[in-house]
Chains A and B, each alone.
Chain A
Amino acid sequence: MNVIETDNLTKYYDRLCAVDAISLSVGHEIFGLLGPNGSGKTTTMRMLTTLLRPDAGDAWISGHHVVNEAREVRNRLSYVPQEMAVDINLTGRENVALFAHLYGVENVKDRVDEMLGLMLLSQRADDLVKTYSGGMRRRLELAQALVHEPEVLFLDEPTIGLDVAARKNIWEHITALRDKGMTIFVNTHYMDEADRACDRVGIIDRGRLIAVDTPGNLKDRIQDDVITVRVSGKFDGRIDADVRYMGQVDDELMFTAGKGSEAVPRLAEALTGKGMKVHAISVREATLDDVFLRLVTSKTDEEGRFDGHGFRLMLRRR
């Protein structure tokens, strides 16, 4: 049995099905659960951390059942919720020591020092947390969570509200923990971060798990590149080049093509030939964002066909 196993895990809030029969198996890796607001990420995590009782289905952490062996499960995990909950009128050291004591850790003092050091907080350990930046507070929460050496770490939106440098820093810590053998389950809606850091991701939409794979494999599902052309002049939607027209947003035209950079010269020529002026062209590979929106939109489309309108919406978002 893998580190995290779920079997048809389901949760209702009244009639709303917040988590719909999720079956998942996570090993020693960084697993990212991706989904838009309200898709059921937090609810899933709270069932796995024994904070919510599933309405149907089962889940096991390191072979222990989350309902029947809740105590065993809690002994093995740490949970950092979405809200940043650290006591701002206590020092960093006091915050970590509280958790060390509550976990019943031996050698509290050394262990606290070690964790503060690991999270690069030693210098500020004795300052009140109200003087800490957002990034430092997140690292402090990680220090609290790691103080009892959990087997599994659950992080709900660990980088929300942080600046670019602080985000990068948090992900570096998470990756280092994975390398030390910890299993990390992360909720996020930042696709780019998941793409870079997660070994595998699951995409969840309205409570349903619609895809689970490595970011690379998921991106391979969209083989086309996306070409954006900034032009002036009116475009009639017809083009004599090996590209597919996707739509127009302000003065930018969107196309997709199998090999984007090779299609660019023909495309530029064709557009100029139609009497338009081309100002700029950019080509990019499909991102996890594109995958996500493609999956979500094609699901809403009943036959599972490619949904052009959804795709245009997605392009507009960039």
Chain B
Amino acid sequence: MKRLVYYLQRDLTRWLRRKIAVISALITPAAWLIFVGLTLPTTFTDNYLDFITPGILVMSMLGTSLQGGSLLMFDKILGFLNKFLALPAPRETILFGKILFITIRGLIQTTVILILAFLLGASMYDPLTLMATYIILFLFGVLFSSLSTTLALQLDDHDSYAAVNAMVSMPLFFTSTALMPYNVMPAWLRVIAHLNPVSYAIDAIRMLGTDIIPWANLLGLAVAAVIVLLICIRRFRRVTV
């Protein structure tokens, strides 16, 4: 457990020292919030910012989690993983450290977005809503960082990894409820959106805004996160015998 923290600290320090990476990670979602939230003409709601904020939160979590797999991939390519695997500490700690780091980094990004959204005029979340939002984002982050890490373990070169990511992330975002609610979608899109895990997370955060606790979505995300995490652990064990 202590060792998990040291792995986490290593990644966090390395990230924070790359100023450009940090700035870009914080600015990009903020730009989305401003350009999409404030400029898109909409008819189905009078406060689009309130509507879009959960979408942008989940989108940045999705983006950063999907990218995160490259961390383990580079550790593997550059020889760090071999050094870590030769340590007496339980090997899975390496994996848990990565997934936790990717998720925490995502939570830092989403915090910045939340603050910005409130400043721009979105309705404030009460403490309970805020906490539940973080839980949803956390589960969602674990789900997709486990997924991307599994992918990174499966593929050997960064180019194919990046290609798969690009192929996956755009459709996931645009076929979700991020930009519009189900009732204004074309029928075919509505079907896909209902199946899309990205919608689960976004809907859950929106439900919190209407004082409903989204138990089903929470449970669904938790189960999915655990399943993908288990697959990831299995894959990790296989790769590292």
Q: Is A273 in the interface zone, CB < 8 Å from B?
A: no
Known: A75-B88, A103-B88. A87 touches B6 (CB 8 A): no
Known: A53-B241, A94-B13, A101-B6. A85 touches B86 (CB 8 A): no
Known: A102-B84, A103-B88. A89 touches B17 (CB 8 A): yes
Determine if A101 and B241 form an interchain contact, defined as CB atoms under 8 angstroms apart. Answer: no
- Distance in angstroms from B106 CB to nearest chain A CB is 21
User: Which residue of B13, B79, B85, B87 contacts A103 across the interface (Cβ within 8 Å)?
Assistant: B87
Q: Mark B5-22, 1 if CB is under 8 A from A, else 0.
A: 011001001100110000
User: Which residue of A50, A75, A81, A89 contacts B83 across the interface (Cβ within 8 Å)?
Assistant: A81
User: Which residue of A51, A53, A74, A98 contacts B82 across the interface (Cβ within 8 Å)?
Assistant: A51
Q: Mark B64-98, 1 if CB is under 8 A from A, else 0.
A: 00000000000000111011111111000000000
Q: Is A83 in the interface zone, CB < 8 Å from B?
A: yes
Determine if A77 and B86 form an interchain contact, defined as CB atoms under 8 angstroms apart. Answer: yes
Determine if B14 and A79 form an interchain contact, defined as CB atoms under 8 angstroms apart. Answer: no
Known: A87-B10, A90-B13, A104-B89. A81 touches B79 (CB 8 A): yes
Question: Roughly how many angstroms separate A74 CA and B86 CA in the complex, as a whole number?
Answer: 6
Interface residue count for A (Cβ, 8 Å)? 30
User: Which residue of A74, A75, A85, A128 contacts B78 across the interface (Cβ within 8 Å)?
Assistant: A85
User: Which residue of B7, B10, B79, B241 contacts A82 across the interface (Cβ within 8 Å)?
Assistant: B79
Question: Roughly how many angstroms separate A156 CA and B114 CA in the complex, as a whole number?
Answer: 49
Which residues of chain B from 174 to 212 have any CB-CB distance to chain A below 8 Å in the complex? none
Q: Is A78 in the interface zone, CB < 8 Å from B?
A: yes
Question: Roughly how many angstroms separate A90 CA and B11 CA in the complex, as a whole number?
Answer: 10
Q: Mark A106-138, 1 if CB is under 8 A from B, else 0.
A: 000000000000000000000010000000000
Q: Inside 8 A of A102's CB, which chain B residues have their CB?
A: 3, 6-7, 84, 87, 89
Q: Is A210 in the interface zone, CB < 8 Å from B?
A: no
Q: Inside 8 A of A89's CB, which chain B residues have their CB?
A: 13-14, 17-18
Q: Is A49 in the interface zone, CB < 8 Å from B?
A: yes
Q: Inside 8 A of A79's CB, which chain B residues have their CB?
A: 82-83, 86
Question: Roughly how many angstroms separate A133 CA and B79 CA in the complex, as a whole number?
Answer: 19
Question: Roughly how many angstroms separate A79 CA and B85 CA in the complex, as a whole number?
Answer: 10
Q: Is A191 in the interface zone, CB < 8 Å from B?
A: no
Q: Is A312 in the interface zone, CB < 8 Å from B?
A: no
Q: Inside 8 A of B80's CB, which chain A residues have their CB?
A: 85, 87
State the A residues within 8 Å of B (CB): 46, 49-53, 71, 74-75, 77-85, 87, 89-90, 94, 98-99, 101-104, 128, 144
12 contacts between A and B (CB under 8 A): A50-B86, A74-B87, A77-B86, A78-B86, A85-B79, A85-B80, A85-B82, A90-B10, A99-B87, A101-B6, A103-B88, A144-B83
